[in-house]
A = this chain, B = another copy of it.
Amino acid sequence: MKYKAKVFVTLRPSVLDPAGTAVQSALTQMSYNVESVRIGKYVEMVLDATDESEASDRLHQACDQLLANPVIENYRFELVEAL
């Protein structure tokens, strides 16, 4: 069966986010009232699996091995059956 996954990879709160800081100061200069900006990766994937739990396990492995750097990043994902 096909599953559609939405993966959100974000820097751990304790890790400095230079890109986010740069965007925040640009927005502030453009007179936006922004308190904080954190930038991460958003990955949309379609994967094959026998059932949802296998899809979830495979996704955890893919995140641990490739999509997220466990030292500085957290990840979470949403998994739905692809129509």
Contact with B along A45-81 (1 / 0, CB 8 A): 1111100000000100110011100000000000000
Dominant SS at the A interface? strand
Whether the pair B32, A58 counts as a contact (CB closer than 8 A) is yes
Count of chain A residues with a beta carbon within 8 Å of a chain B beta carbon: 33
What CA separation (Å) do A46 and B33 show in the bound complex?
A: 9
What CA separation (Å) do A64 and B62 show in the bound complex?
A: 33
Write the nearest CB–CB distance from A63 to chain B, whole angstroms.
11
Return 24 A-B CB contacts under 8 Å, by A number: A2-B35, A8-B42, A10-B44, A23-B43, A23-B67, A26-B66, A27-B62, A32-B62, A33-B47, A34-B47, A34-B48, A35-B46, A35-B48, A36-B46, A37-B45, A38-B44, A39-B41, A39-B42, A39-B44, A40-B41, A40-B43, A40-B44, A41-B41, A41-B42
